[in-house]
Structure 1
């Protein structure tokens, strides 16, 4: 399949092997029980604090991407047995995750996003974007970790400017990037410095594109305002502004049908659901713990039913947003001892990915009453589908309960 991303990428060599797409088994999420840990990768805390910054499943569900502060970008593959299994034993051994691809990008990574048409059977589509401190937007090869191309934005005095956030359009043909004073739109198939520039009142902090309504983009700013715009003929037309958050917008997600927008902000414990059919007033507000400036991500399941959020208290909360009445927490799980900054639901398997860690202030030895921080820089995969008790374990527990063990 020819795509704009494939045109921008280097053409595969004749010796390159195309990987056959795995057979998939679609299974619904089951949030009636707590999550069962499947796999984990752990990073020690060094002087420069190697905490993780979010995690994202690839659109085809074959791999998971995360960024480690000071440790670059890493891609982890989904264990092969998890593609087709219907249920798992509660005594299953936790796998140790090892990066399949590592990109030791220097400097601070601000944002990243998978190419929406990614298919592991077509190597040309397997790539992701990243933006970082004092550098251009990069397009990376998900098989080799090589840099395919770059997209460069410049300010008014022709100095290279860093994008604070990036995302692909729903069809992958364009790249939307947020800067201090504008949004720049690049043609994915034409890397370099050609772009359309749209002025914005405040610095852009996050940006997402609607999959249901091509061209509709939500732009979150550091002032807590969300600007909903529509792209037509290379320009952006303002649709409405959404105001209700106390801090800068850090995470947003469109519903599958494009009728709702969910948003969260820094140092703001409210998750707001906006009804875009009647914009301007929140549809409902959901509580979560977000007591720091850190980005705490949210995600929506592919069936449009479950909204998931991390929390600075290490908890993951799940709401059933298809309920007609005001949604209440369906399940709350303490999955981490440190801040859970990233959550990502697998596109077709009942698997939740989470990432943990945050910046901790140095401990002052003169103040002995200050509690010692807990460091947990981890990437985890959790099973949220049907679980089965081990027969032997169940027998032992039953015997112990009856006093015969």
Structure 2
């Protein structure tokens, strides 16, 4: 529920775009840019915030992050102008990375023998925030007001803070260990660094294609009226894949991950085809990407005993870098000939596949040794 609230908040202005445009009297592209600003702030503040909170127990970090989101949404509810809206969202964005880095670590600590399933369960909330949360914000904003939608998200965040405070065990902090000290084995540092490198091309490939899915679908012959249904189907497929990926990871971690990244590259390659092959490809890469998000995060948590929260912070930062790169590269590719975007995403996915195979193989060899 906490990740659902944060994901819904991150994309809040996308769902409430037109109502905020009319109420605040600014252009739609200005409102839309608030999502980019949020992502930039979340990336820039992640490592400093992680360093400042490294001696705090995970439960305190989570409770503090959800209270920050509740305060942010309350401020958003009464914001009189765009400037106050930006300040309110920046406050939440500064805690965004901390929450997303701590949640899977806490989840795995509660289910240490099923790290894949634990990660999948909590990431399902984040996926629901994207698939369900944003449309709900749009619906509430149209039927009531965007300020009502902000208030409801604030209430949800406050409720999550209370629930986390009461239900999550008071796990010890990991402040005495960081990746720069001899207490962290070199093997652990190398593994986490490799997963951070792997996620960059994978996230870039997905972001480049998904950002412009409406345009590429139209070029492939998909009627405009069917694009929302396509995106909804991709999202639902991603939800199902998130659940199944956790179980697959716990049984066959290496093989399941290699399979997912192979399906991802294959799905992107089908982007050069016309409908319905294009649609099949889109469904494949959307499902594969959802699975990889769970699998990579589970590997990062498993490979960083004693400093998993900080390791997860580095991974989230790498994830944000991949997203930013994908948006930039995708914007340039879409202006060229049809098929350029599919070729770009396929090339990035293949690079990610090769890196994944190398990392999984090295990990297996080290474990065997």
Higher Cα Rg, which structure: 1
**Normalized against structure 2, the TM-score is what?**
0.24
Which structure dedicates a bigger proportion of its chain to helix?
Answer: 2
**Normalized against structure 1, the TM-score is what?**
0.22
Which structure dedicates a bigger proportion of its chain to strand?
Answer: 1
